[in-house]
Structure 1
Amino acid sequence: ATQEGETWTAAINSPEAVEGLTWYTDLALKHDASTSAATTWLETDSLAAFLQETVPMFITGSWVPATIEAENPELAEKLVAFTIPAKDSAVAPSFLGGSLMCRFTETAEPELAFELIKLVTTGDFATRWAEETNYFPGTTAALDEVVAGGDEITKVFATQMTEGGKSVPVTPAWGKIEGAKTLGTMISSVLDGTAVQDAADTAAEEMDGFFSE
């Protein structure tokens, strides 16, 4: 989506987006590298298939290698990681995401609540949290510490995040778009036979409806 002032407009049906969507869906439609059913899979489904060695690779997060090591040590010894390749570079854009910490608007101690949030998301606590959960911290300084003390696989995930990480549109409407599964529905419709441009136009119309609310 593109932003002008405070207004967001869907760009999922732009020529560039349609080119990317065509390439992506062709992995399944032309190259049999996936199946339409995969659009409904959860992260845990992909991990389970990898642990069972029924798929050779999958896209996942920095917290998963530790699980693989615990569940299948022999497989973990063979594990390698690489950034998501792009058309013209080694690192493709990928959405940044994670859990959110917030304070209730009606809390009796708003300033104290915010101090707690700062305490657990910065400094030593942020670094400890990252080390113990295998999730990356939310500050650059803490991330540098984790990467410096990590292995080669950790560094790959960090590179993907720092060089390819992109934010979703910063608007409350995005939560509604995710809730409506607009993008997932678009991909599913293409895999079921809808022309990419038509599916993208439908998705863009729905997104613009949410953006205009």
Structure 2
Amino acid sequence: MQHRWRILTATSAAAGLLLLSACGEDAPAPATGGEVTGAIDVWMGDPIGATQQPVVIQLAKDYETAYPGTKVNLRFLGADAHKTYLTSIAGGTVPCVALIGNTWSPEFAGLQALEPIAQDPASMQGTYTQSMIDSTVLDGVSYAVPYDTGVRALIYRKDLFDAAGLAAPKTWDEVLTAATTVQKANEGVNGFGIVGGNQWYWLPMIWNWGGEIAVNSGGAWTAKVNSPEAVAAFTFYSELLTKHKLAPAGSVTWQGADAAKAFALGQVGMMVGGSWDLKTIIAQNPGMEAQLATAPMPSGPGGNNDTFAGGSNLAIFKGCKNKATAKSFVDFMMRTDNLVPVTTKIGLLPATTDALEKERTTGSFSAPLLKAYAEQAPNTRSIPPVSTWGKVEGTGAIVNAMQSIMNGQKTAEAAMQELAGQIDAAIGQQ
């Protein structure tokens, strides 16, 4: 499906600067552009936490063994990773290689901080999931390598659905019907877990209704969140709480972890959640695992069930003085046999098509509870590829719009009109 702001072709036919291996060869592939030797600084932020760090440390050692004379200086960043990167860019103290949030890639590229990866992003098609390619692009050039991807799906109480004779919802209208039925049949159980404080749980519904967040026409970006489709999508989600009373009042400010906690306590019968939310539910209530089921996201009137592709990209900073080794290290990290152990530990999907297929068919995402996430992965999209999108997220404007509707402070039409103006102020100059 073509999307108006999805970049599938490039402005240049030049070959990519970095030749990436997405397969699992044993022998190290030669790097181009200089001698592979010396030290490189590699920074890893979220989602590489304490659980995943030993795997990455071992991979760095394996790389040094495969390439004698090289040294990988690893640094693991905390929750302030975005600020740390911006500070390093401003101060000229950037690492050579960094794992960055996929929504940061256009932002950092707009600051002239990242090395181009492919002058022709279309050359990356078939090697990576399309939405993750899109997340690396600014002005027709790719500036990062897709690494991992996090998608959301429906999580629901199979025992409650079975008792009510319900199948997994395939549309948002069926979600409403199922949530209403489950709530009526089970005292103390809310039919649906609203996540009012996190836009990525419901902003993609604009696509499901046939709308767009923003479109590019002649090089100028314009917000479309005030379209009838976008207004209808936000109205539907908000009314799950305000009209249908299918969620607790406090869920106006909930994050995904709050909904997962309520689910684990038996207070919610269905929610949209990532594989990380599913992991949280099971960790907090192991006995509930047998009662759980998942399904791909429901579709809307627009005829699609697309959701947001979160995740991370590997980037090489322009300030790196050892680009040959940096490129070689990225190649090494992207091999399926090196990529999958890390993404499995994270609990996210790999962003290469070969590794994704391996995970879907025989890997961790072939498990019954996780299959839906692998099935959903092809039906994902990225944010509009503009360098100033971070300003939109930073102001909290999207969450504020939804919460103002839920709280009855604004009509959906008024809230979305105001939001469109705020988005235009941030990205309209692109």
User: Separation in 2 of the partners of 1:89 and 1:199?
Assistant: 22
Query: What does 1:86-105 correspond to in 2, within 5 Å?
Result: 86-88=299-301, 92-105=305-318
Aligned pair in 2 of structure 1 residues 89, 8: CA closer, same or farther (>3 Å)?
closer
Q: Distance in 2 between matches of 1:212 and 1:19?
A: 24
Q: CA deviation at 1:154?
A: 1.8
Equivalent residues in 2 for 1:1-16, closer than 5 Å: 1-16=214-229
Residues 122, 171 of structure 1: alpha-carbon distance in 2 compared, 3 angstrom cutoff:
farther
Q: 1:4 & 1:135 partners in 2: Cα distance?
A: 34
* 2:406 equivalent to 1:191: yes
Choose which of 158, 174, 180 in structure 1 pairs with 2:395.
180
Give the Cα–Cα distance (whole angstroms) in 2 for the partners of residues 201 and 4 of structure 1: 20
Give the aligned partner of residue 202 of structure 1.
418
- Equivalent residues in 2 for 1:148-187, closer than 5 Å: 148-149=361-362, 150-163=366-379, 165-187=380-402
Q: Deviations over 1:115-173 (max 9, x none)?
A: 3233223421112222222210011111110010211222211122213x111101112
Q: For 1:31-46, what aligned pairs fall within 5 Å after superposition? A: 31-35=244-248, 37-46=250-259
Aligned structure 1 segments of 4 or more residues deviating by more than 4 angstroms: 88-91
Q: Residue 112 of structure 1: CA displacement? A: 2.1
> Residue 83 of structure 1 corresponds to which residue in structure 2?
296
Give SS of 1:85's match.
coil
* 8 Å Cα contact 2:261-2:280 kept in structure 1: no
Provide closer, same or farther for how the CA distance between residues 16 and 121 of structure 1 changes in structure 2, counting only shifts above 3 A.
same
Q: What amino acid is aligned across from residue 275 of structure 2 in structure 1?
A: S
In 1, Cα distance between the equivalents of 2:312 and 2:236?
30
Larger Rg: 2
Deviation at 1:91, TM superposition (A): 5.7
Q: Measure, in 1, the Cα distance between the counterparts of 2:301 and 2:412.
A: 22
Could you say if the C-alpha distance between residues 37 and 171 of structure 1 is closer, same or farther in structure 2, counting changes exceeding 3 Å?
Answer: farther
User: How far apart in 2 are the matches of 1:7 and 1:111?
Assistant: 36
Letter in 2 for 1:175: G
More strand by share: 2
Alpha-carbon offset, residue 4 of structure 1? 1.7
Matched residue, 1:211: 427
* Whole-angstrom CA distance in 1 between matches of 2:249 and 2:327: 44
Comparing 29-38 with 4-13, which one deviates more in the overlay?
29-38
Count of residue correspondences: 212
| One-letter amino acid matched to 1:187 | M
Comparing 100-109 and 148-157, the one that deviates more: 100-109
Q: Indicate the structure with greater helix content.
A: 1
Report the alpha carbon displacement of residue 103 of structure 1 after superposing the two structures with TM: 3.1
Tell me which moved more, 1-10 or 56-65.
56-65
Q: Taking every aligned residue pair, what percent have the same amino acid on both sides?
A: 28
Higher alpha-carbon deviation: 199-208 or 1-10: 1-10
- Retained in 2: the 8 A contact 1:95–1:166? yes
CA distance in structure 2 between the aligned counterparts of 1:91 and 1:77, rounded to whole angstroms: 30
Instruction: Indicate the residue corresponding to 1:23 in structure 2.
Output: 236
> Which residue among 245, 259, 269 is the counterpart of 1:56?
269
Residues 107, 84 of structure 1: alpha-carbon distance in 2 compared, 3 angstrom cutoff: same
My pick for the range that moved more, 190-199 or 65-74, is 65-74
Match of 2:34 in 1: none
Q: Aligned residue for 2:322?
A: 109
Q: Which residue is 1:139 aligned to?
A: 352
Any gaps of 5 or more consecutive residues in structure 1?
Answer: none
CA RMSD of aligned residues (A): 2.1
Q: What secondary structure, in the 3-state scheme, does the structure 1 residue paired with 2:338 have?
A: helix
Instruction: Quickly say closer, same or farther: Cα 1:130–1:88, change in 2 above 3 A.
Output: same
**Which digits, 9 at most, give the CA deviation of each residue in 1:49-105, with x for residues without a partner?**
222222222211123434444432210111100122123589622111113333333
Whether the aligned pair in 1 keeps the contact of 2:226 and 2:420 (CA below 8 Å) is yes
> In structure 1, how many angstroms separate the alpha carbons of the residues matched to 2:221 and 2:302?
28
Distance 1:7 1:157, change over 3 A: same
